[in-house]
Structure 1
Amino acid sequence: MIRFENLTKSFWLKGERRVVIDNLNLTLPTGRSLALLGRNGAGKSTLLQLVAGTMRPDHGEIISDGSISWPVGLAASFHGDLSGAENVRFIARIYGVDTDDLVGFVEDFAELGKFYHMPMRSYSSGMRARLTFGASMGIKFDTYLVDEVTAVGDAAFKRKSRDIFTDRMRHSSAILVNHSMRQLRQFCNAGLVLDNGRLRYFSDLDEAIAEHHRLMAV
């Protein structure tokens, strides 16, 4: 369960206040994997960061009764001057998991070779995504926050990413941002539509996708 209580988030842009989340009150049910839909700039990444706790709201709060990952695909929580392995060790300590196990898992999964022990500022965006995705999949969360990551890499790596994510979804739920409706239908069984600061929950994924398409056509 994730519950939003009077949640508001805004940014100042060119002297004007832009509201991304507007006094949101909503409870997301346990055990559903949710497709998060919305036009570019609607605030989907901001919402994921709020849920993860890596960004603070203007006011209101988010309450959860389970563990939640950081937004996979967002490397902002990783330190550029530390190596990939050092970042993973830091994450393991934060989340209370075995350090050596997580470092070994990510090294095998991300396939970064010598770059795993080099500063992350030297990584390409794809390498960063592979590291953050691997680190997240190496920890068993109740809810995974995922932003387009299963599309990273060559065909073999994409297949490996989908396989491990499918395995995690057998026991966990997710909030997933992806421009591929096919992948959303593969992993999700309900939907969220974010538009003009308002977030709507749909228990039927096809209804959420239809509403998203309708808003995109306006």
Structure 2
Amino acid sequence: MIELRNLTKSYRTPHGRKTLFRGVNAVFPEGKNIGILGRNGAGKSTLLRIMGGIDYPDHGRVITDQRISWPMGLSGGFQGSMTGRENAAFICGLHGIWGSGRRRVLDRVQEFAEIGNYFDAPVKSYSSGMRSRLAFGLSIAVDFDWYLVDEVMSVGDAHFKHKCREVIAEKRKTANFIIVAHSMSTLRENCDVGIYLGPEGMQLHDTVQAAIDIYQNNVPAPKASARAQAVIQ
């Protein structure tokens, strides 16, 4: 069970304070994979960070009796002067994983990330794609009840994207996912229900397609280029 109770979150900006969530109350359905949609700046990634314990609300709290992952694809939490292996070992320690269990996790991460000898190089030498591969590999190597996925399946080449889809399909047999993605096909393939973050606040829908329909009806049409406008005129 995951419950948001009176959740409020805002940020200070140069133009004043922006409130993303105000007094949100919601209970996420058990045994369902959830897709989150919304325009840029609606708070999708912020919501994942709050549920994953990376960020904190101004008021309210997340109530759960489940093990929730950090957001997959979140690579900003790595210590740059430490190697990928050292970062992975440190995170294992935070989650109480030691001994043979830690060795298994490190082996899984190294195999999945496919970054070769860079696994033993400082993370600050990584490209953004390599950081994302390491973050995803580490997230999927640790067993959770809920996995938080933030656009990570758009990272990497076709081979890596295929691996991501395969491992998520396998993990869905024993765990659930909360996924933020701009790819409607990804959400349809992996999610049962949908959450739309829009001007009216958070809306929970019984199907992910219902959330997709509302999202697409509220996304403004892209502006035509100067050439296209000339043709239209």
TM-score by length of 1: 0.96
Q: Indicate the SS of the match to 1:87.
A: helix
Q: Indicate the SS of the match to 1:50.
A: helix
Q: CA deviation at 1:76?
A: 2.2
Q: Distance in 2 between matches of 1:140 and 1:59?
A: 29
* Cα root mean square deviation, aligned: 1.3
Q: Indicate the SS of the match to 1:63.
A: strand
| Structure 1, 196-205 or 58-67: larger mean CA deviation | 196-205
Q: Distance in 2 between matches of 1:205 and 1:158?
A: 22
Spell out the pairing of 1:169-180 with structure 2 (5 A cutoff).
Answer: 169-180=172-183
Q: Distance in 1 between matches of 2:199 and 2:11?
A: 13
Could you tell me which residue of structure 1 aligns to residue 92 of structure 2?
A: 92
The answer to whether 1:64 aligns with 2:72 is: no
Q: Is there any run of 5+ residues in structure 1 with no aligned partner, and where? A: none
Contact 1:144 1:174 survives alignment (8 Å): yes
Deviation sequence 1:158-194 (CA, Å, 0-9, x none): 1111111110011111110111111111110110111
Q: CA deviation at 1:124?
A: 1.0
Could you tell me which residue of structure 1 aligns to residue 105 of structure 2?
A: 102
Computing the radius of gyration over CA atoms, which structure comes out larger, 1 or 2?
A: 2
Could you tell me which residue of structure 2 aligns to residue 166 of structure 1?
A: 169
Q: Distance in 2 between matches of 1:124 and 1:198?
A: 36
Counterpart amino acid of residue 9 in structure 1: K
Q: Distance in 1 between matches of 2:208 and 2:54?
A: 27
Contact 1:20 1:196 survives alignment (8 Å): no
The answer to whether 1:138 aligns with 2:127 is: no
Q: Distance in 2 between matches of 1:83 and 1:76?
A: 14
Contact 1:21 1:197 survives alignment (8 Å): no
| Structure 1, 94-103 or 60-69: larger mean CA deviation | 94-103
Q: Distance in 1 between matches of 2:213 and 2:62?
A: 27
Could you tell me which residue of structure 1 aligns to residue 185 of structure 2?
A: 182
Could you tell me which residue of structure 1 aligns to residue 18 of structure 2?
A: 18
Spell out the pairing of 1:118-137 with structure 2 (5 A cutoff).
Answer: 118-137=121-140
| Structure 1, 51-60 or 195-204: larger mean CA deviation | 195-204
Contact 1:42 1:195 survives alignment (8 Å): yes
Could you tell me which residue of structure 2 aligns to residue 192 of structure 1?
A: 195
Q: CA deviation at 1:114?
A: 1.3
Could you tell me which residue of structure 1 aligns to residue 152 of structure 2?
A: 149
Could you tell me which residue of structure 2 aligns to residue 113 of structure 1?
A: 116
Could you tell me the percent identity over the aligned residues? 41
Q: Distance in 2 between matches of 1:94 and 1:208?
A: 36
Q: Indicate the SS of the match to 1:74.
A: coil
Could you tell me which residue of structure 1 aligns to residue 45 of structure 2?
A: 45
Q: Distance in 2 between matches of 1:74 and 1:10?
A: 20
Deviation sequence 1:83-141 (CA, Å, 0-9, x none): 11101101111122321111111111101111111111111111111001000110111
TM-score by length of 2: 0.90
Q: Indicate the SS of the match to 1:76.
A: coil
